[in-house]
Amino acid sequence: MLAGKRITLIIGGGIAAYKSLDLIRQLRRAGAQVTPVLTRAGAEFVTPLSVAALAEAQVFQDLFDLKDETEMGHIQLSRTSDLLVVAPATANMMARMVAGLADDLASTLLLATDKPVMIAPAMNVRMWQHPATQRNLAQLRADGVQVVGPNVGDMACGEHGPGRMAEPAEIVAAIAAHFGPRPLAGRRVLVTSGPTHEPIDPVRYIANRSSGAQGTAIAAALRDLGAEVAFVTGPASVPAPEAVQVVRVETAREMLKAALGALPAEVAVCAAAVADWRVAQEFTQKVKKTTQGIPLLEFSENPDILATLSTHEQRPRLVIGFAAETEEVIAHATAKRARKGCDWIVANDVSPATGIMGGAENAVHLITESGVESWPRLPKGEVAQRLAQRIAEAIA
């Protein structure tokens, strides 16, 4: 996949540095040649010896290592690769890149290079969300730096939220996407994601639980294979992916309108957790506790977006639905595939014990015309990549 590609991998300081060892392994397995650069902070988390052993290459650490300078100057080192990857990229490293500092080997290489740069940020959620880091992120993007992740999930520091470094397989996929081939180039796909909110009155709503993480990862994976992605999302808790066409909606009816508005598309992936019912008569004023007693809500059925797309005159060639079940997952999902008229169903068990809902991993079954395929439990990003790959093969 990456045969002959030369990657300079800068390993920053942070607990995610341990994942960089696996990243090196996966890059090597994909055929890439890895030149590792270990920052001083990075070396607090992984040893130069383990990095060198996995990369099967010399580790560069110090700007003033004269032996390296005589053999290969830092300017040359910054330009002998096809891509520079910073993983993990700490908040500090991002700030230094934005400022154009060159006070150690890694920052000097990043300033001196004429090659593309990709970063995989990893940091505490508060550090990631801090306006300074978000400003730096925007500036790095404006400077042409590609960004992979971070993912949402539990962090080593005990907090939960965005800040986990993308998984090595996701970084490898982003690198592969950078170099191509892009089997979905020129193909338009629709992805629905997140929950819908159905108003009861101006302040209350009913909704399904959904972080939007899996739908977001699928949109990103399809984009990485070159697809033009229309991403119709309800109010999700994870940010929408970069470089896709985002349409934000609240209700199922809005989602249907946006989904139909995104046609024609060759593929539709309906990953949204759409509320099945809405309150038949939305109250125009906030329902007061005291005056009217406990309100009785009457529901009416929401449109089924997946079923509508499956029977639409502009039906995408491949329509994929999801089935979140808490029991008899495969039986229910197989019945759902027939009922909705879609081509594939991605089914998963979302009973609380699995930790899948809102979590970083997913264990899915792919139900197609030819049967059931059970995939191992994988990070949501990897589930998305596998699915995107299957989609690319199906519509090739």
Within its chain, how far is the Cα of 306 from the centroid? 22
H or E segment to which residue 52 belongs: helix 48-55
Rounded to a whole number of angstroms, the minimum distance from the CB of residue 200 to ligand C5P is 18
Please give the structure tokens belonging to residue 287. Answer: 């329902």
Q: What's the CA gap between 45 and 50, in Å, rounded?
A: 11
Rounded to a whole number of angstroms, the minimum distance from the CB of residue 270 to ligand C5P is 4
Beta strand 344-349 with 318-325 is: parallel
Q: Is 391 in the site for ligand C5P (CB under 6 A)?
A: no
Residues in Cβ contact with 283 at an 8 Å cutoff, skipping those fewer than 6 apart: 200, 201, 202, 295
Rounded to a whole number of angstroms, the minimum distance from the CB of residue 323 to ligand C5P is 6
Binding mask 137-176 for ligand C5P (x = CB under 6 A): ----------------------------------------
Binding mask 245-264 for ligand C5P (x = CB under 6 A): -------x------------
Q: Is 316 in the site for ligand C5P (CB under 6 A)?
A: no
**Closest to 271 in 3D by CA, of 313, 223, 319, 308:** 319
Q: Of 53, 138, 157, 280, which is the active-site residue?
A: 157
Rounded to a whole number of angstroms, the minimum distance from the CB of residue 110 to ligand C5P is 42
Q: Is 280 within 8 Å of 299 (Cβ atoms)?
A: yes
H or E segment to which residue 344 belongs: strand 344-349
Q: Please state whether 332 falls in left (phi above 0), alpha (psi between -120 and 50) or beta.
A: alpha
Q: What's the CA gap between 142 and 154, in Å, rounded?
A: 29
Please give the structure tokens belonging to residue 223. Answer: 């984009």
Q: Is 272 in the site for ligand C5P (CB under 6 A)?
A: yes
Q: Which of 305, 347, 356, 364 binds ligand C5P (CB under 6 A)?
A: 305
Q: Is 205 in the site for ligand C5P (CB under 6 A)?
A: no
Q: Is 323 in the site for ligand C5P (CB under 6 A)?
A: yes
Q: What's the CA gap between 13 and 144, in Å, rounded?
A: 23
- Which window, 62-70, 145-153, 278-286, 297-305, contacts ligand C5P (CB under 6 A)? 297-305
Q: Is 304 in the site for ligand C5P (CB under 6 A)?
A: yes
- Which window, 22-30, 175-183, 267-275, 356-364, contacts ligand C5P (CB under 6 A)? 267-275
Rounded to a whole number of angstroms, the minimum distance from the CB of residue 188 to ligand C5P is 18
Q: Is 267 in the site for ligand C5P (CB under 6 A)?
A: no
- Which window, 31-39, 82-90, 304-312, 384-392, contacts ligand C5P (CB under 6 A)? 304-312
Rounded to a whole number of angstroms, the minimum distance from the CB of residue 5 to ligand C5P is 37
Nearer to ligand C5P, 41 or 259 (CB): 259
Q: Is 41 in the site for ligand C5P (CB under 6 A)?
A: no
Q: Total number of residues binding ligand C5P (CB under 6 A)?
A: 14
Distances (CA, A) of 218 to 215, 310, 348: 5, 19, 15
- Tell me whether residue 157 is one of the annotated catalytic residues: yes
165 exposed, middle or buried (CB, 10 Å; 0-12, 13-18, 19+)? Answer: buried
Q: What's the CA gap between 273 and 29, in Å, rounded?
A: 37
Q: Known catalytic residues?
A: 157
List residues near ligand C5P by CB under 6 A. Answer: 192, 252, 270, 272, 274, 276, 302, 304-306, 321-323, 336
